């Protein structure tokens, strides 16, 4: 295992790196937990800016200002160009800041590049949400590859579930480097839903369609669905909107032109389909809390929505988050138009009458994951500091 360096005041100095909205949602609870223990740990917060606009919304909500903002995203940037820019930039940050360890989350380009930069500097890596696998490098693409590369150089594998921990053991990761912490997304969710339920008058006014007794919330942004897959999903939504005029379909549309263009071309103008800009994180949690059915290709939503009692239909052929499927809380429907129409219609009929008022038991965590992760970091390295 790489060794930490001596830190001023004897406090552990982790470099916490993120670049996208999902990473920020799942790392903000860890950052806040570090801030609550400021006598023992002093985080250095670094944003690569991989998804700048949507990322800023999340950071603003949690009240976190990055210490370092790399601003790497450029229009039309290729994955190779982004990877190179991220690797070089995080490399410089590590040289200048000399952190004790590097903390990453999930499976983005930022995660892979930051983990590699840490490895080159022999800094320990903490991988939050480690061990998710589909076994197929093409699905999700390129995330499965990114996650596996990060896992090779990780020292503390913070597995969200027992299944994820088992996947790491099959890859001969030492037992001492694996700990089931739960998923920090549930920490963020439980905090947020409580706040949004207490005062939602503004959101009811902003999203009037979400106040009905039959609401379907839609997300779609995965690269493997670009083109024909996304077209099939949109055609299914159009058919559903026509056959269920009493149901409101709310679709916060991702800013990527490969998503925004086709979605607006196929769904613009349908009276009960509401194409809205990407919602701020607390607003999106509120929309999930109002929805009867969620149709999504998002990994994070597969973890969040079951806690809110929604029917979760996943527009993917494979998922690296099978726990909700196995528990009967989510179902893979792919991008087949007929299957989507049939299953969404069945769930609309079953769940009409409003959202669930209670939070269901979730296989992904109990809202205390961030504390476990910070505990493990301090347990592993605080004794080495002077």
Q: Please say if 56 is a catalytic residue.
A: no
- Three-state secondary structure string covering the chain: CCCCCCCHHHCECEEEEECCHHHHHHHHHHHHHHHHCCCCECCEEEECCCCHHHHHHHHHHHCCCCCEECCCCCCCCCHHHHHHHHHHHHHHHHHHHCCCEEEEECCCHHHHHHHHHHHHCCCCEEEECCCCCCCCCCCCCCHHHHHHHHHHCCCEEEECCHHHHHHHHHCCCCHHHEEECCCHHHHHHHHHHHHHHHCCHHHHHHCHHHHCCCEEEECCCCHHHCCHHHHHHHHHHHHHHHHCCCCEEEEECCCCHHHHHHHHHHHCCCCCEEEECCCCHHHHHHHHHHCCEEEECCHHHHHHHHHHCCEEEECCCCCCCCHHHHCCCEEECCCCHHHHHHHHHHHHHHHCCCCCCCCCCCCCCCCCHHHHHHHHHHHHHHHHCC
CA distance 159 to 183: 8
Copy the structure tokens of residue 158: 């913070």
Higher pLDDT, residue 25 or 139: 25
86 found inside a domain: yes
On whether both 244 and 156 belong to a single domain, the answer is no
pLDDT of residue 153: 98
- Out of 254, 274, 321, 337, which one is annotated catalytic? 254
Same domain, 73 and 222: no
Pick from 29-43, 265-279, 311-325 the range whose average pLDDT is largest.
Answer: 29-43
pTM for the predicted model, two decimal places: 0.82
Please tell me whether residues 207 and 295 are part of one structural domain. Answer: yes
pLDDT tens, 324-380? 898 888 999 998 999 999 999 999 998 765 545 455 567 888 899 999 999 999 999
Q: Is 221 a catalytic residue?
A: yes
Lowest mean pLDDT among 63-67, 136-140, 142-146: 136-140
Q: Residue 188: inside a domain, yes or no? A: no
Active-site hit among 21, 221, 337, 372? 221
Q: Do 143 and 203 belong together in one domain?
A: no
Catalytic residue status for 264: no
d(CA 231, CA 272): 19
Q: Which domain holds residue 115?
A: 8-183+365-384
Together in a domain, 43 and 113: yes
137 and 62 in one domain? yes
Annotated catalytic residue, options 23, 33, 100, 107: 107
The per-residue pLDDT for range 247-276, each reduced to its tens digit, is: 999 999 887 777 788 889 889 999 999 999
Answer yes or no: do 150 and 295 share one domain: no
> Is 254 one of the catalytic residues?
yes
129 is an active site residue: yes
User: Do residues 229 and 296 share a domain?
Assistant: yes
Catalytic residue among 33, 143, 283, 304: 143
């Amino acid at each position: 295992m790489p060794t930490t360096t001596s830190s001023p005041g004897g406090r552990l100095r982790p470099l916490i790196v993120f670049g996208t909205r999902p990473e920020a949602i799942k790392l903000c609870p860890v950052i806040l937990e570090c801030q609550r223990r400021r006598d023992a740990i002093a985080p250095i917060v670094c944003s690569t800016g991989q998804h700048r606009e949507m990322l800023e919304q999340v950071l603003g909500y949690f009240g976190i200002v990055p210490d370092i903002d790399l601003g790497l995203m450029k229009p039309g940037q290729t994955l190779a160009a982004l990877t190179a820019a991220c690797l070089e930039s995080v490399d410089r940050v590590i040289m200048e800041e000399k952190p004790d360890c590097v903390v990453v989350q999930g499976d983005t380009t930022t995660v892979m590049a930051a983990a590699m930069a840490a490895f080159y500097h022999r800094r320990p890596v903490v991988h939050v949400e480690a061990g998710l696998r589909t076994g197929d490098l093409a699905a999700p693409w390129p995330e499965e590859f990114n996650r596996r590369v990060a896992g090779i150089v990780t020292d503390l594998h913070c597995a969200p579930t027992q299944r994820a921990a088992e996947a790491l053991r099959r890859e001969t990761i030492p037992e001492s480097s694996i700990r089931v912490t739960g998923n920090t997304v549930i920490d963020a969710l439980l905090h947020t839903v409580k706040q949004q339920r207490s005062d939602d008058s503004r959101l009811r006014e902003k999203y009037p369609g979400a106040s009905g007794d039959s609401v379907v919330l839609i997300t779609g942004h995965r690269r493997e669905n670009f083109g024909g897959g996304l077209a099939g999903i949109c055609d299914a939504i159009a058919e559903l909107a026509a056959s269920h005029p009493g149901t409101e379909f709310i679709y916060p549309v991702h800013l990527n032109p490969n998503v925004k263009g086709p979605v607006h071309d196929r769904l613009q103008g349908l009276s009960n389909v509401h194409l809205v800009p990407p919602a701020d994180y607390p607003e999106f949690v509120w929309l999930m809390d109002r929805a009867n059915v969620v149709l999504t290709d998002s990994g994070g939503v597969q973890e969040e929505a079951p806690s809110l009692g929604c029917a979760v239909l996943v527009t993917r052929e494979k998922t690296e988050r099978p726990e909700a499927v196995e528990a009967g809380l989510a179902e893979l429907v792919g991008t087949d138009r007929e299957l989507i129409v049939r299953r969404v219609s069945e769930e609309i009929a079953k769940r009409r009458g409003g959202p669930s008022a209670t939070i269901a038991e979730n296989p992904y965590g109990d809202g205390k994951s961030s504390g476990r992760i910070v505990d493990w970091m301090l347990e592993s390295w605080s004794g080495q500091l002077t």
